Structure 1
């Protein structure tokens, strides 16, 4: 049934009766409802995109906190990287120079981590750049610290070996000789006291009374304790390792046994006059790689540069050996 309504006609200036059908009322209602739904949808869409829910606010706070922690972590990683770089520099330019070892190649220190796909699983997120950057720094530091750790292991072994070498080198005089007056004959060509011909003297003769203490000049192992019929008389040979050997001849008595370990400065025997000898003295030799070398060059723990220069001058004067 149509509903009657009244409408003022502005043209005729009369109030006219208007019949509104059910269909018209339905369409009007539908229009109102549709407008309301559209408005509600717009409001909901705005709220969804621009108004945070309590849960979203909590999540955002957590994300902000993660970002802050990542920033702090990156700053710490940068500081650790600076320390590692300093260690690498010291390793290559100080420690390895001291121990005469080649520096670690840059290609080893800066070795990579596979291809670009290594970080692909970290891409595509809202903060992927932070995550990838931090992960890459950790990977680089992990690799560098591993290489540095292995390098320090090697340097430690070099240091131990250097310490052993320093202790083993025959670096002192085998008898007390603070005034340098006990050297009767030097290394080099000298006159043989028995045959009166010039022969190469492979050691130094230290004059001293019978029974004077003889000191081993470096750490090592005694390899010979014997009476030599070649002219050395009672003699001791010590192997110091690293290619060094020392010989002590014409002893009156030996104080060590073959195979015994000895330390620099330890008494190993006593001055005598055994074998081919003209008077009590110690004949002392240093061998490097099986070849006799001038013992004077190894007295750096015992003498000053001035005393060394005096020894060199005296060694160049003609003289006769004592054996």
Structure 2
């Protein structure tokens, strides 16, 4: 039962009953509703701040999963970058050293540029847009596949068109040297054994016994044979083989020569016996590679029959600035 309210009437000096209108009832009801709404809002805010709903927990787990997925994508993108750099370096070595061609302009180097562009865009746009991230990753994957396909097709084409280059390339040591102990002096500044001054040594010296086999390091045609030299200076008895594509190999200070000018030889054929002719202080083979008229380091071409450890061993020995044998 609603309480009855009275008010004092000063004119009649009596308490008169207060009459309520519908407006009074409406205002009271509206006040109650407003108070209830404020209290309910406050309760909901406190509940949301300190208690998780099932939906909130689900969204939190989903966000954590997406964050982990994005971090994995970031790591994968960096890994793709390093792999592309390695492929780029490998392709450059293949083209420059084996095929004597310039590296592909639309190959791995372009891929690296495109990759960097897309990756920087990802970083600028952030990792919150999952659709954008997946689109960028898809573009990078397409670039990587297209680059690998283009590069490999180009290598296959060059291999087919230049199959003779692979067999004519001077790619082995000119003497049997399985224990790697015969390399005596490398390419570069060395001490001359006669006047003891530092001079440029344009080849590699392999210490041998007289009569050891001297091998052709690649297929080619014998360009020059110099024999019966009695002078104790210069190359003595020596052979030059033209391998084509601007490559010529020279084998000096030989003993008996077993080929003639114009002969065709195969890689690994015996072309002479080791000796001590010309300006030489001990039996050895002086070996040079000449590319387009310029003498270059032969060690860089000894790629057949050597694993990484063996090559590093030869590189270490050849790098010592010792006294040459000629």
Q: TM-score, normalised by structure 2?
A: 0.51
Match of 2:179 in 1: 179
| Offset at residue 161 of structure 1 (A) | 3.6
| Offset at residue 241 of structure 1 (A) | 0.4
Secondary structure of 1:318's counterpart equals: coil
Match of 1:290 in 2: 293
Change (3 A) 1:304 1:155: closer
Counterpart-to-counterpart distance in 1, 2:308 and 2:289 = 20
Counterpart-to-counterpart distance in 2, 1:307 and 1:299 = 10
Change (3 A) 1:156 1:313: closer
Match of 2:216 in 1: 216
| Offset at residue 239 of structure 1 (A) | 0.4
Match of 2:312 in 1: 309
Change (3 A) 1:320 1:221: same
Q: Deviations over 1:70-127 (max 9, x none)?
A: xxxxxxxxxxxxxxxxxxxxxxxxxxx99879799xxxxxxxxxxxxxxxxxxxxxxx
Secondary structure of 1:193's counterpart equals: coil
Aligned counterparts, 1:215-294, within 5 A: 215-227=215-227, 231-294=234-297
Aligned counterparts, 1:103-182, within 5 A: 158-182=158-182
| Offset at residue 251 of structure 1 (A) | 0.8
Change (3 A) 1:274 1:158: same
The count of corresponding residues between Structure 1 and Structure 2 is 180
Q: Deviations over 1:280-307 (max 9, x none)?
A: 1001001111111111111110211111
Gaps of 5+ in 2: 1-93, 107-152
Match of 1:320 in 2: 323
8 Å Cα contact 2:183-2:318 kept in structure 1: no
Counterpart-to-counterpart distance in 2, 1:257 and 1:225 = 7
| Offset at residue 159 of structure 1 (A) | 3.7
Gaps of 5+ in 1: 1-96, 105-151
Q: Deviations over 1:22-74 (max 9, x none)?
A: xxxxxxxxxxxxxxxxxxxxxxxxxxxxxxxxxxxxxxxxxxxxxxxxxxxxx
Match of 1:200 in 2: 200
| Offset at residue 162 of structure 1 (A) | 2.2
Match of 1:191 in 2: 191
Counterpart-to-counterpart distance in 1, 2:173 and 2:104 = 34
Counterpart-to-counterpart distance in 1, 2:221 and 2:266 = 9
Secondary structure of 2:163's counterpart equals: helix
Counterpart-to-counterpart distance in 2, 1:311 and 1:190 = 17
Counterpart-to-counterpart distance in 1, 2:155 and 2:280 = 48
Counterpart-to-counterpart distance in 1, 2:155 and 2:279 = 48
Give me the CA root mean square deviation: 2.7
Secondary structure of 1:250's counterpart equals: strand
Secondary structure of 1:176's counterpart equals: coil
| Offset at residue 316 of structure 1 (A) | 2.1
Counterpart-to-counterpart distance in 2, 1:256 and 1:174 = 15
Secondary structure of 2:282's counterpart equals: coil
| Offset at residue 163 of structure 1 (A) | 1.1
